[in-house]
Amino acid sequence: MAVLEQLNADGRGHMRILVTGGTGLIGSHLVKLLKPKHDLVILSRHTVKTNNARMQFIKGDVTNYSTVEKSASGCDVVFHLAAQTDIALSFKKPKLDYKINVEGTKNVLKACKSCGIDRLVFTSTAAVYGYQRFVPIKETAIKKSTSPYGKNKLIAEKLCDKFGSFIVRPFNVYDESDRSYSNINKFCSLIKSDKKITIDLNRHDTRDYIHASDVGHALLFGLKDIGTYNVGTGVETSFPDLIALISGKLNKQAKVVYQGDDKKIRRSCADISKIMHDFRWMPIVRLEDGVERIVKN
């Protein structure tokens, strides 16, 4: 049974839903899943034209409370995805990161209370974990983020948790669109152009790559439940293995230089046993298929 059909069977029918960041990497997939059944209000910094009378786009961002309150008015549920997600930028502009990721979340929560909305779904990040000695990483692992981004998202998590929210921690998210800035997309572009790939990590460092559409499906469980969940594949992929996969799909040799940085996260992989157990959720898009989509795009 599809996720939305399952939720409707459990009593969650037609609703008016606000999606902040609804034109982003994950948000665009979530909107596709929600729009057949619900009326949507999409708060985004980007203007999108639509002929769908059940979709309303509001240009703005979550740092402006009046815009957030206007967007939330009349809604039953809020999916809060709008965020500053660039870790490097969070070091360069920590105040900006805090303003968007913490103050913006406060605005969303304030608007929920003002508009009588009792259901919030929040997209956090695996960056809250920071360096972990043991993988796969459970939701209960001690949070050791060293980046302003990870620390601020953890602050936002705690605010949402007090409200009573459904929180997901996606790992390395990608898709085949130009919204995706993951390693996969970057490496595909560089190999296609016969350009050198410089990786400021070690050869055997790993990441857990999850397709944005799978994250979108996981978010839907927030329509009926609360809690905090990892969203990944549960599979570690090393950089040499990822590059070999991409090179094979492109039938081109990659030029790679590793510049190991021990200050960065070495291994990253989600323990997804909790979300699998509670909702029978499983990622659908295999890494091989996701890379194939990017190569063909």
Find the mean pLDDT for residues 153-180.
95
Sorted by where each begins, the domain ranges of the chain are 3-175+209-235+266-285
| pLDDT of res. 11 | 46
Q: Please tell me what DSSP assigns to residue 259.
A: -
| pLDDT of res. 229 | 98
Helix, strand and coil content of the chain, in percent to the nearest 5, comes to: 40, 20, 40
Find out whether 75 and 16 touch, Cβ atoms under 8 Å.
yes
Q: If pLDDT is split at 50, 70 and 90, which confidence band does 262 have?
A: low
| pLDDT of res. 10 | 44
Residues belonging to the active site:
149
Q: Note the maximum CA span of the chain.
A: 57
Q: If pLDDT is split at 50, 70 and 90, which confidence band does 261 have?
A: low
The pTM (predicted TM-score) of the whole model is 0.93
**Rounded Cα gap, residues 262 and 186, in angstroms:** 22
Decide if domain 3-175+209-235+266-285 falls under CATH 3.40.50.720.
yes
Query: Is 70 exceeded by the pLDDT of residue 1?
Result: no
Query: Is 60 exceeded by the pLDDT of residue 2?
Result: no
Find the mean pLDDT for residues 253-274.
85
Contacts of 3 (CB under 8 A, 6+ apart): 33, 217, 220, 221
| pLDDT of res. 203 | 82
| pLDDT of res. 51 | 82
Query: Is 60 exceeded by the pLDDT of residue 8?
Result: no
| pLDDT of res. 237 | 96
